[in-house]
Structure 1
Amino acid sequence: MKEISPNEVNALLKGNSTINIIDVREVDEVKAGKIPNAMHIPLGLVEFRMQDLDKSKEYIMVCRSGGRSSRAAKLLEDHGYKVLNMTGGMLEWNGPIE
């Protein structure tokens, strides 16, 4: 599984690159703040929502510390999606939140 650091994700955001972030934390965790424009799909729903994702795009998976996002990334990767896991999760995130 490919990984990306929070600093690299922040640099992509600042560079106005088109990036697709999926936050797999629970609803109450996301209420505390998420990376701007991140799509929220709780880990338990990723399997049921994957048909809504575009296999031609690359997705960056995010959670609180990197564990749940790594499970989500593995699931999507096993189904042919291009994914990166953000290491350290939101605990390591120093960029903007909404």
Structure 2
Amino acid sequence: METITVQQLKEKIDNGEKVNLIDCREPAEYEEYNIGGTLIPLGNIQNGDLGPLEGKQDEEIVIHCRSGKRSAAACLYLDSQGFKKTVNVEGGVLAWRDAFEAE
């Protein structure tokens, strides 16, 4: 598992890079506020219900949650399942809002 700051993530998105961005929060949290990632709740990931991640074991997978704890757990699980490049977003949505909501 690697880490990325919200600033580095935004730069990747702004530069048009392909980002496999996964939001591992719960559906209600996602509906309230999201940054455009694909919703796969942590419980689904830990149950092996990977949906759009199937076949992407060799690709970079960037995962975020509210603060970075659930996404770290998701990264560790995916690492154990053979994913080679998982990236945890430091500080999650809270850090994203702090960094970019004031703009």
TM-score (norm 1): 0.89
- The answer to whether the 8 A contact 1:25-1:42 is kept is yes
The more displaced of 80-89 and 43-52 is: 43-52
- The answer to whether the 8 A contact 1:66-1:87 is kept is yes
What's the CA shift string for 1:21-77, capped at 9, x where partnerless? Answer: 1100011100112112x1100000003223642112111010000000000000001
Moved over 3 A (4+): none
- The answer to whether the 8 A contact 1:61-1:72 is kept is yes
Q: How many residues align?
A: 95
Identify the residue that residue 44 of structure 1 maps to in structure 2.
Answer: 43
Q: Which runs of no fewer than 5 residues in structure 2 stay unpaired?
A: none
Q: Do residues 57 (structure 1) and 59 (structure 2) align?
A: yes
Identify the residue that residue 7 of structure 1 maps to in structure 2.
Answer: 7
SS of the aligned residue for 1:21 comes to strand
Alpha-carbon distance change, 51 to 84 in structure 1, aligned in 2, over 3 angstroms: same
Q: Do residues 83 (structure 1) and 86 (structure 2) align?
A: yes
- The answer to whether the 8 A contact 2:40-2:50 is kept is no
TM-score (norm 2): 0.85
Q: Which runs of no fewer than 5 residues in structure 1 stay unpaired?
A: none
Identity %: 32
AA of the residue aligned to 2:35: I
Q: Which has the larger radius of gyration?
A: 2
AA of the residue aligned to 2:24: V
